[in-house]
Amino acid sequence: MPSPKDLGLPLEKWREGQYELVTRAAEATKTLIIQAPPGTGKSALAVGAARLSHQKTIILTATKSLQTQYTTQFRGMVHSLYGRANYPCVLDTFDNYTAADLGAVGVRCDDAPCGVGYQCSWVDRCPYFMERDKFLGADIGVTNYSYFLQSPMKCDLVVCDEGHLFDKVLGKEVRLPYDHIPEDIDNLLLETQRDVYSSMVASRPNGREYRAYAKTLESIEQAISLLAKPTGKVFALEGGQLVIKEVWGQWESGARTVIMSGTLEPVELFAKFYGIRDYEFVDVPWTFKADRRPLYYRPVTHVSGQRVGEVAPRLARMVDWELGRRGGEKGLIHSVSYELGEAVWGLMRRQDRVLLHRRGDRREEVVAKFRTMERDVWLMSPSMGVGEDFPYDAARSQIILKLPFPNLGDSLVQARRRQYPEWYLYSTAQALWQMYGRVMRSEDDAGETVLLDENYDMIVKAGLVPSGIQAAIR
């Protein structure tokens, strides 16, 4: 058995069963679905499988924080590529006159003239294209699902990390400049396409105007392509635009595929939702002792978005009580919604110990501030359920105010629930168990979870509590 060092991994030794998983992933012929709890070392599994297989591998993440984690942990072994918006266009640096003429001064690469056909002379100096070339030439690359699905690229092995977020990353979505839902969308798209072409010819637009026209045409072409697919769609008005969404995105890749997450069970449902037919499933047992990661179920009330004013006082009293028991700790309070978080915080006696994540705050800045704060502070946020880890003293406890139900006001959620009624609770359970894993990240760590929403009884009744978590419930 080669050691982690033999594969170039920054590990002293394999965790129990870890090398067997690496081997299985490297040699899989069918789609391999791995449910692996915190502490399994999923990132090392992905990179180790790539190294062991000696094949071109692309690792996909749904969150920027995990993509950055791969780059940092395996520096020099994997090459990371972000979306175009993360890189500045350098045309104005090397040719300011042309950049000004094209309206491209101070823009990012997603709004650069080259995106609509301009033949830029500075591609070899462009940070996006330079990073893209390194990514395509690397043995192991890591990027986000959106980029990979929009720009298919050849590889031998695809490792899909954060597989529990398939429902957010696979379905295609197109935004169009309409303020209504038309009865005959096909004819309207063709008419708009002709009108845009005519306007471009008549107005002789400048660079920025031309790019706006070109992006509208691109959206129309994407909409025509999406409507031609034999999958369900929903239409909605959001922010003054018509949005067409694919109800179920299906996983499609010409490469061998490994899908990983800490929460995918029951795998039969996961496979059904995303069109995965020929697969193998590996359920990795928890290695963290249950008494070091207890989940205290303390049902206060049935919490819902429609009852915020009614339930907030009871939740605030319980949160105050829990914080009173836990002096000197840092912790998380999962509010699930900004409205609930602000309502509960506003009624708390211990507000001074809580950093409130308000609507409009930049998530990255809130997290960075919390990480640098001293002990005895809690972060109340609706968006810490995935993508962030708080090991050891970064957060010793967490309180979950409300189950993370999908929003029933969303037409996409309604359509999915109509087709697969069981998906609604399944999706809720996956999000809940992701929250549970935020504060316990290694065998010598310890983290407590307190759940206050009485709706949890529905998750139990549906049989959606994994055995490894059942053992920790108190």
- The residue with greater pLDDT, 202 or 155, is 155
pLDDT band for position 443 (50/70/90)?
A: confident
pLDDT for the residue numbered 123: 92
Mean pLDDT of the chain: 93
pLDDT of residue 215: 86
The average pLDDT across 403-420 equals 95
CB atoms within 10 A of CB 268: 9
Burial tier of 25 (Cβ tally within 10 Å: 0-12, 13-18, 19+): buried
Identify the pLDDT of residue 39.
84
pLDDT at residue 222, as a whole number: 92
Q: How far apart are CA 389 and CA 415, in angstroms?
A: 32
- What is the per-residue pLDDT across 179-233, written as a single tens digit (0 to 9) for each? 999 989 999 999 999 998 888 878 777 777 888 888 889 899 999 999 998 889 9
Secondary structure of the chain as H, E, C letters: CCCCHHHCCCCCCCCCCHHHHHHHHHHCCCEEEEECCCCCCHHHHHHHHHHHHCCCEEEEECCHHHHHHHHHHCECCEEECCCHHHCECCHHHHCHHHHHHCCCCCCEHHHCHHHHCCCCCCHHHCHHHHHHHHHHHCCEEEEEHHHHHHCCCCCCEEEECCHHHHHHHCCCEEEECCCCCCCCHHHHHHHHHHHHHHHHHHHCCCHHHHHHHHHHHHHHHHHHHHHHCCCCEEEEEECCEEEEEECCCCCCCCCEEEEEECCCCCHHHHHHHCCCCCEEEEECCCCCCHHHCCEEEEEEECCCHHHHHHHHHHHHHHHHHHHHHCCCCCEEEECCCHHHHHHHHHHCCCHHHEEECCCCCCHHHHHHHHHHCCCCCEEEECCCCCCCCCCHHHCCEEEECCCCCCCCCCHHHHHHHHHCCHHHHHHHHHHHHHHHHHHCCCCCCCCEEEEEECCHHHHHHCCCCCHHHHCCEC
Asked if pLDDT for residue 153 goes beyond 90, the answer is no
**Which structure tokens are listed for 219?**
């959206």
Per-residue pLDDT, averaged over 155-161, amounts to: 96
> pTM for this structure?
0.89
**Percent of residues, the chain, with pLDDT higher than 90:** 80
More confident residue, 338 or 375: 338
pLDDT in tens, 85-135: 999 999 999 999 888 888 889 999 998 988 878 889 999 999 999 999 999
**pLDDT tens-place string over residues 260-292:** 999 998 999 999 999 999 999 999 999 899 999
Stretch 318-344: mean pLDDT, rounded? Answer: 97
314 pLDDT higher than 80: yes
Residue 36 has what pLDDT? 93
> Confidence band (pLDDT; 50, 70, 90) for 447?
very high
Task: Check residue 350 and give its pLDDT.
Answer: 96
> Which has the minimum average pLDDT: 4-8, 23-27, 208-212, 425-429?
208-212
Q: Which of 58-67, 77-86, 98-107, 336-345 has the lowest mean pLDDT?
A: 98-107
Whole-angstrom distance, CA of residue 341 vs CA of residue 361:
13
Q: State the pLDDT at residue 403.
A: 98
Digit-coded pLDDT (tens) for 362-382: 999 999 999 999 889 999 999
> Which range, 107-116, 306-315, 381-390, has the best average confidence (pLDDT)?
306-315
Percent over 70 (pLDDT), the chain: 100
pLDDT value at 386 more than 90:
no
pLDDT of residue 209: 81
